[in-house]
Amino acid sequence: MNTESALIAHDQTQAIIGLVLDGLNSPHSKRAYATALADFLAWYEQNGRPGLNKATVQSYRVYLQGQGLAPASINLRMAAVKKLAQEAADNGLIEPMVANGVAKVRGVKQHGVRLGNWLSREQAQAMLDLPDTRTLKGLRDKAILALMLGAGLRRSEIALLTFEHIQQREGRWVIVDLVGKGNRVRTVPIPSWAKSAVDRWAQAAGLSTGYVFRRVNKGGVVAGERMTSQAIYYVVKEIAACLGVDLAAHDLRRTYAKLAHKGGAGIDQIQLSLGHASLRTTERYLGVEQNLTDAPCDRLGLH
């Protein structure tokens, strides 16, 4: 029985996607997988519905690589297609042996997450774009990521952040009197796009005082006084999994430092924003290595 072509028939498209999405709990995963599968099915139709098998999925991977997509984006799409094949086999639409073959298709090696777990700028932007801002939880999660990637806050600092912390100084928005590790107090500038993300969440949740980030129950209603540090951890892990990378919440703080340094920010200013007592700690975040080709002594301007 040739079930491979029938699986991807046009009139079954929504049912097939439903098989996959029904097995997912995370709204982030549902959104990402729905997009990935729609793209795959469009490619599948354009290529004459060759059958859902290992050779087809390998060809699709080559196609994605030819589009210049980041490894994380390719691996996310591949994961969705593999999930599709497994669900199809579980529901008797293709043979289990065919699904096993699809599962063996390798992803693309990721070079964007390097030693020390920094995200590339493209990965960081993709992560910011993943939360579904049509939902209250998505608005909250996007605001959390915006402050972690846009201001380098620790998850414990995110959990304890209040609206009273966010004030204007010298014409810009900052987080004032933030108590961090070692009880060190600092002021942290935040970009306008991060403040906008916080405002959208606050407005939708009806919040203006007290803790900024609260739990959202399964019914999409704000519940509880504040989120815990561990809850912030799970938010980051959930969204990172949708992106196809394995990283911890603290890696977003490293990414903030790395991208700021690449953008021309001075190490001393990055140190102040992060609240590091030692410049050496900041340098480890940046992965700074001694440059013997373009050394400081070459920049003195002396003859």
Mind listing the pLDDT tens digit for each residue in 92-137?
778 889 989 999 998 887 654 444 578 888 999 999 999 999 999 9
Q: Which pLDDT score, from 0 to 100, does residue 295 have?
A: 46
Is the predicted pLDDT of residue 20 greater than 90, yes or no?
no
**pLDDT more than 90, % of the chain:** 41
Residues 6+ apart with CB under 8 A from 294: none
Is the predicted pLDDT of residue 4 greater than 80, yes or no?
no
The whole-angstrom separation of Cα 162 and Cα 175 is: 9
Is the predicted pLDDT of residue 77 greater than 70, yes or no?
yes
Is the predicted pLDDT of residue 299 greater than 70, yes or no?
no
The whole-angstrom separation of Cα 126 and Cα 104 is: 26
- Mean pLDDT of the 4-27 span: 65
Buried b (16+ CB within 10 A) or exposed e, 219-253: eeeeeeebbeeebbbebbebbbbbbbbebebebbb
The whole-angstrom separation of Cα 118 and Cα 261 is: 12
Residues 6+ apart with CB under 8 A from 109: 71
- Mean pLDDT of the 244-268 span: 86
Total residues belonging to the chain: 303
> Which two structure tokens, joined as six digits, stand for 189?
């500038």
Is the predicted pLDDT of residue 142 greater than 90, yes or no?
yes
Query: Tens of pLDDT along 186-229?
Result: 888 999 999 999 999 999 999 999 999 999 998 889 988 899 99
Burial level of 51, CB count in 10 A (0-12/13-18/19+)? middle
**Amino acid found at 177:** D
Using alpha carbons, select from 287, 268, 264, 288 the residue that is nearest to residue 276: 268
Residues 6+ apart with CB under 8 A from 253: 148, 152, 153, 154, 274, 285
Instruction: Name the least confident of 8-22, 138-152, 169-183.
Output: 8-22
Instruction: Name the least confident of 30-34, 52-56, 142-146.
Output: 30-34
> Which two structure tokens, joined as six digits, stand for 156?
């414990």
Which residue stretches of 47-181 are H helix?
A: 54-66, 71-90, 96-103, 121-129, 136-151, 155-160
The whole-angstrom separation of Cα 85 and Cα 89 is: 6
Q: Are 118 and 251 in contact (CB under 8 A)?
A: yes
Q: Are 255 and 151 in contact (CB under 8 A)?
A: no
Region at 124 (left for phi over 0; alpha for psi -120 to 50; beta for the rest): alpha
> Which two structure tokens, joined as six digits, stand for 176?
């004032």
Domains observed in the chain: 3-103 (1.10.150.130), 121-286 (1.10.443.10)
- Mean pLDDT of the 262-280 span: 82
Q: How confident is the model at residue 1 (pLDDT cuts 50, 70, 90)?
A: very low
- Mean pLDDT of the 226-235 span: 92
- Mean pLDDT of the 223-237 span: 90
> Which two structure tokens, joined as six digits, stand for 115?
């030693």
Q: Which pLDDT score, from 0 to 100, does residue 68 have?
A: 81
The whole-angstrom separation of Cα 300 and Cα 303 is: 9
Q: How confident is the model at residue 271 (pLDDT cuts 50, 70, 90)?
A: confident
The whole-angstrom separation of Cα 151 and Cα 83 is: 36
Q: Which pLDDT score, from 0 to 100, does residue 200 have?
A: 97
Instruction: Name the least confident of 115-129, 218-232, 263-277, 280-294.
Output: 280-294
Q: Which pLDDT score, from 0 to 100, does residue 303 have?
A: 44
Is the predicted pLDDT of residue 152 greater than 80, yes or no?
yes
Q: Which pLDDT score, from 0 to 100, does residue 149 have?
A: 94
Is the predicted pLDDT of residue 290 greater than 80, yes or no?
no
| 178 backbone dihedrals φ, ψ, rounded to 5° | -80, 120
Q: Which pLDDT score, from 0 to 100, does residue 113 have?
A: 45
